Structures are given as C-alpha cells and as structure tokens.
C-alpha cells in the first residue's frame, strides 16, 4: 500500500499554485547560476540552486498528477544512497569524469522517458497531436542518445580507460553529416507513421553519432568537451520537459543548455579553438604527427632539490605560482596555502596564475584554491596576469604541463598550437614540480623543461611543497 499524498494535497492546490512555485524555483536557479560566476559568490549561488531544487522536488511530489509513490520513493531512496556514497568517496581529481558520467545519466533518462512515453501513448493519442508528440519524442531521444554515448567516451578518456589522443579517420566528417541528416529523416518518418521502428533507428544512429563526435577530440580540449556535454544534457532535459508537459523541466533544461553553450564558447575563445569545430567533433582538425610526441630522452634538462627552490623563493620579491592537475592529484592545495603564507610573512609578493583549462574541467583549480582559503584577490586568470611573468623573479609550476608549454606558440605541428598559454617561461627563474618526465594529458613533450631558466623538481606535489616550506623555516 502506497502513501497517496497527491490526493490529499489536490484539494488545496491548483495549477496556478504549482506554476508559481515552479517560477520561483526557476528564478532561484538563475540566481544560482549568477552566483557561480564568481568564487566570492559561489557558496551563495549553490544555496540558491539547492533551495530552488528543494522547492521543485516538494512541489512535484505533491502534484495531483502523481497517482502512486511506490516507484518514486524507491528511486529517491536508492538514488540518494548511491549519490551520497559517491559524494563522500570521490576525490577532486575525479570530479571531471564524475561530471561526465552524470551527464550520461541525464541523456539516458531522456532516451528512456521518450521510449516509455511512446509505449504509454501508442494507440491512445488523436491524429492531431500525434505528429507534435512524435517530434518531441524523437528530439528528446536523439539529443539524449548523443549526450549519453558522448559522455561515456568523455568519461573513458578522463578516467584513463582509453587514450586521450584524438581518433581521426578519413571521411569521418562526411560520415557524421550523413548520420545527422539520417536522424532528421527518421524523425520525419516517425512523425508520419508513429511506428516504433523509426524511433528505435534514429535513437541507435544518435548513439553512434555521439561516439563519433567525441572520439576525434584530444585531451587538450577535454575541458571544453565536459562543458559542451553539460549543454547537451540541458537540452535533453528541456526536450524531456516538452514530452512530459513540465514547464520547470523545460526552463531549467534551457538554463543548463544555454549556460553550458556560453561557457563552451568562452573556453573555446580562451583556447583559440573554433567553437563549431569542437561541436562537430574536431571538424577540420588532424591527428598530430610524430613531431609532437614525447622527446625527453634526447634532450637535456636541469633538476633541483627543495632546498634550492626554497632559497630562490625566499630571496625573491615577486613569485607566481601556477597550479595544475598534479596539485589536485596530490591534494597539495593546503600545503600550497602554507607556502603562500610563509612567503608573504617574509615580504614576498605571491600571486596565483590560473589557465582556463588547468585541470580537467572548468574552474578545477579555482575550487581547489578556494578550498584551502587562499584569498581571491591573489588569484588571477590568464589574461590578467600573463603580462607580469616578465617581471617575476620565480615562477613555481605545481603539476601543470600543457598550459605552460611554449610549443603552443612555436610548433605548428603540435596539437596545442594556437592555444594561449601562461607565459611562465618569461620569468627570470622557473621551477616545475613533476613526478616524472611523462608528458601532460595532451601527450605532448614540454619545451619549457629544456629552457636555460627552467629547473625540474621531481616528486609528489604535496611532499615537495612541504619540503620547500620546511627548508624556508630552517634557513
């Protein structure tokens, strides 16, 4: 026996009430997105978004259209347990792939809802509304399927289950175009016949297209891919909202879709990448040739101990720290905060330089630095700090690689070519903390390692930074 709350509340609340609550929730989501645009207001933004989602869930649960809560409670409890377990165990370094796989869930749900709606309405809908419903179902299923399969590939690349190198082949763009046109053709066939086979075929084609759109995108562009898939998941949710007649789902899906598209465009512009190129699966791109492969074995580099770095840092007047994925892996952000405080006490000016795609997803480094309570006014984006490297005594690069690689400016055969980098190489002295000479996520050897003013400090980021702090205290 299920607890039928809907029948209890149906006498108290009208459709206008639910519309008003959904409108308030949408406004709170907008405030949430606005808050997330700055580290200073991010916590408040999260609060607004959580409040909006809470209102939306409660309003949906008491809606008169809900006839039974058995499956709803089961889904809420099971999903809550799984989500809580993942949230408690996940590390910051694993957040990008977690986001990618969550996007796949949104896409899969859109597909399942479209298919389920078809079966529940088959034979019971009048001809006048059949074509409209068919287009809603086909669009929801197509967008959802592309989001699902594309997100699975992104997860595989981020998790290291498959190579991060772009997979390109002759005729791939013509194949993608053919598949895209085929999807619309079968959408039209489905709208005219309302039979299951066209819907199934267009869904399968969309799944294949999702794979083919993400496979050609290399590791250097994965942060943009994560943002783009976020946009896709939003449009999939909006399409599902039309199918279900849920205005809140339409509005929130559109918010997520449009904000994700805007973020993707901003990141593409910051990386000097073509927005259309990324959307179409690296259209116009080509696989990197052998000249961009790691070549460390034939080059000479210098290495330094933590004591050497400590001496240079404490005798500098200006230091810029460049955090990267290696800092996230080692969870070294709190050690970096201690280094920052130690140098500030000695009168050294310390700033942090953040590249738009440092880490594996947008804002990855900003979140880590905020977690360790590093002041926001010391953290600068690429365009705001790049001009200062030439007047900097020491640049300390902690676990970053591709975002400081001069090959992006000098090597036209490199997959990084054209991407703006942090000009750390212009500093008087550069120290790079790395575990080994292994190249970065893009699989490209870093020319900076062989510059005269650069020295490598090998080891775990957290242990190295702690050793540097200890050496400063003991000097």
Of 402, 423, 445, 447, the catalytic one is 402
* Whole-angstrom distance, CA of residue 168 vs CA of residue 175: 12
Q: Specify whether 211 is located in the same domain as 239.
A: yes
* Whole-angstrom distance, CA of residue 114 vs CA of residue 108: 10
Which residues, in sequence order, are CB contacts of 413 under 8 Å at separation 6+?
Answer: 288, 289, 291, 292
Distance of CA 274 to the CA centre of its chain: 18
pLDDT for residue 322: 94
Q: Specify whether 370 is located in the same domain as 390.
A: yes
pLDDT for residue 287: 41
Among left, alpha and beta (phi > 0; psi -120 to 50; other), residue 359 is left
Q: Specify whether 280 is located in the same domain as 298.
A: no
Reported pTM: 0.71
pLDDT for residue 8: 47
* Whole-angstrom distance, CA of residue 178 vs CA of residue 145: 17
Confirm if 222 and 360 have CB atoms less than 8 A apart.
Answer: yes
Q: Tell me the three state secondary structure of residue 55.
A: helix
pLDDT for residue 198: 93
Six-digit token string for 349:
């000016």
Confirm if 401 and 440 have CB atoms less than 8 A apart.
Answer: yes
Q: Specify whether 43 is located in the same domain as 119.
A: no
Q: Could you list the pLDDT tens digit for every one of the 475 residues in the chain?
A: 444 554 544 444 555 787 788 889 999 999 988 887 776 787 888 899 999 989 988 888 888 878 788 888 888 899 889 888 888 887 766 777 888 888 888 889 889 988 988 888 776 666 667 888 888 889 889 999 999 998 899 888 877 788 777 777 788 888 988 999 999 999 999 988 888 999 999 999 999 999 988 888 776 667 777 788 888 888 888 888 887 777 888 888 888 888 888 888 877 776 667 777 766 665 444 444 444 444 445 678 888 899 999 999 999 999 999 998 888 888 888 999 999 999 999 999 999 999 877 776 667 788 788 878 888 889 998 889 999 999 999 999 998 888 899 988 888 777 777 788 899 999 999 999 988 877 766 677 888 999 999 999 998 899 999 999 999 998 7
DSSP 432-470: EEESSS---TT----GGGGSTTEEEEES-HHHHHHHHHH
Confirm if 230 and 36 have CB atoms less than 8 A apart.
Answer: no
DSSP 303: B
Segments in 90-218 forming alpha helices (H):
95-121, 127-159, 172-193, 196-214
Q: Quick one: which of 134, 171, 211, 160 has its CA closest to 360?
A: 160
Calculate the alpha carbon distances from 363 to 39, 360, 418 in Å: 9, 9, 21
pLDDT for residue 127: 62
Q: Specify whether 113 is located in the same domain as 33.
A: no
pLDDT for residue 293: 45
Torsion angle defined by CA atoms of residues 220, 223, 228 and 232, in that order, rounded to the nearest 10 degrees: 120
Q: Which of 89, 124, 144 is a domain's end point?
A: 89
Q: Tell me the three state secondary structure of residue 276.
A: helix
Q: Specify whether 176 is located in the same domain as 258.
A: yes
Q: Which of 287, 316, 334 is a domain's end point?
A: 287
DSSP 207: H
Q: Integer distance in angstroms from the first to the last C-alpha of the chain?
A: 73
Q: Specify whether 149 is located in the same domain as 184.
A: yes
Residue range of the domain that includes 169? 94-287
Largest CA distance in the chain: 84
The CATH number for 343's domain is 3.40.50.1220
Q: Specify whether 252 is located in the same domain as 346.
A: no
Q: Specify whether 127 is located in the same domain as 264.
A: yes
Residue 4 annotated as catalytic: no
Q: Specify whether 363 is located in the same domain as 382.
A: yes
* Whole-angstrom distance, CA of residue 439 vs CA of residue 296: 9
DSSP 1: -
Confirm if 103 and 143 have CB atoms less than 8 A apart.
Answer: no
Interhelix angle 127-159/196-214, nearest 10 degrees: 30
Q: Specify whether 77 is located in the same domain as 141.
A: no
Question: In total, how many domains does the chain have?
Answer: 3
Q: Specify whether 325 is located in the same domain as 340.
A: yes
Confirm if 428 and 309 have CB atoms less than 8 A apart.
Answer: no
Which residues, in sequence order, are CB contacts of 395 under 8 Å at separation 6+?
Answer: 319, 320, 321, 322, 353, 389, 424, 427, 429, 430, 431
pLDDT for residue 158: 79
* Whole-angstrom distance, CA of residue 159 vs CA of residue 265: 25
Six-digit token string for 3:
């607890």
Q: Which of 47, 70, 89 is a domain's end point?
A: 89
Six-digit token string for 256:
């997520």
């Amino acid at each position: 026996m299920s607890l039928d709350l809907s029948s209890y509340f149906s006498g108290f609340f009208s459709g206008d009430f639910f519309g008003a609550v959904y409108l308030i929730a949408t406004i709170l989501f907008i405030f949430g997105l606005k808050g997330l645009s700055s580290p200073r207001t991010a916590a408040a933004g999260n609060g607004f978004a959580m409040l909006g989602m809470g209102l939306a869930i409660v309003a949906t649960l008491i809606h008169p259209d809900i006839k039974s809560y058995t499956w709803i409670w089961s889904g809420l409890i099971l999903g809550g347990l799984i989500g809580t377990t993942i949230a408690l165990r996940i590390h910051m370094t694993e957040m990008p792939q977690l986001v990618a796989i969550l996007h796949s869930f949104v896409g899969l749900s859109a597909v399942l809802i479209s298919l389920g709606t078809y079966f529940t309405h088959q034979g019971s809908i009048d001809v006048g509304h059949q074509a409209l419903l068919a287009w809603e179902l086909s669009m929801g299923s197509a967008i959802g399927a592309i989001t699902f399969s594309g997100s699975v590939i992104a997860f595989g690349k981020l998790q290291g289950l498959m190579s991060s190198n772009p997979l390109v082949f002759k005729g791939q763009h013509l194949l993608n175009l053919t598949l895209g046109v085929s999807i619309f053709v079968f959408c039209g066939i489905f709208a005219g016949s309302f039979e299951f086979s066209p819907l199934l075929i267009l869904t399968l084609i969309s799944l294949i297209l999702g794979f083919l759109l993400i496979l050609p995108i290399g590791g250097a562009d994965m942060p943009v891919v994560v943002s783009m898939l976020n946009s896709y998941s939003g449009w999939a949710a909006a399409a599902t909202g039309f199918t279900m007649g849920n205005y809140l789902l339409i509005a929130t899906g559109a918010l997520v879709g449009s904000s994700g598209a805007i973020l993707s465009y901003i990141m593409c512009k910051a990386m000097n990448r073509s927005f259309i190129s990324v959307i179409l699966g690296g259209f116009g791109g080509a696989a990197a040739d052998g000249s961009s492969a790691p070549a460390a074995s034939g080059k000479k580099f210098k290495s330094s101990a933590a004591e050497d770095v400590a001496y240079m840092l404490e005798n500098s007047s200006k230091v810029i720290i460049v955090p990267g994925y290696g800092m996230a892996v080692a969870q070294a952000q709190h050690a970096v905060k201690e280094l920052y405080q130690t140098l500030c006490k000695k009168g050294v000016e310390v700033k942090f330089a953040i590249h738009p795609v440092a880490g594996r997803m947008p804002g990855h480094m900003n979140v880590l630095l905020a977690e360790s309570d590093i002041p926001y006014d010391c953290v600068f984006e690429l365009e705001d700090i790049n001009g200062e490297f030439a007047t900097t005594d020491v640049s300390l690069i902690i676990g970053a690689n591709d975002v400081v690689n001069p090959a992006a400016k000098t090597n036209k055969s490199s997959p990084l070519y054209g991407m703006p980098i942090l000009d750390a190489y212009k500093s008087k002295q550069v120290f790079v903390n790395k575990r080994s000479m292994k190249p970065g996520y893009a699989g490209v050897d870093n020319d900076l390692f062989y510059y005269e003013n650069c020295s490598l400090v090998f080891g775990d980021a957290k242990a190295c930074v702690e050793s540097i702090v200890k050496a400063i205290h003991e000097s």
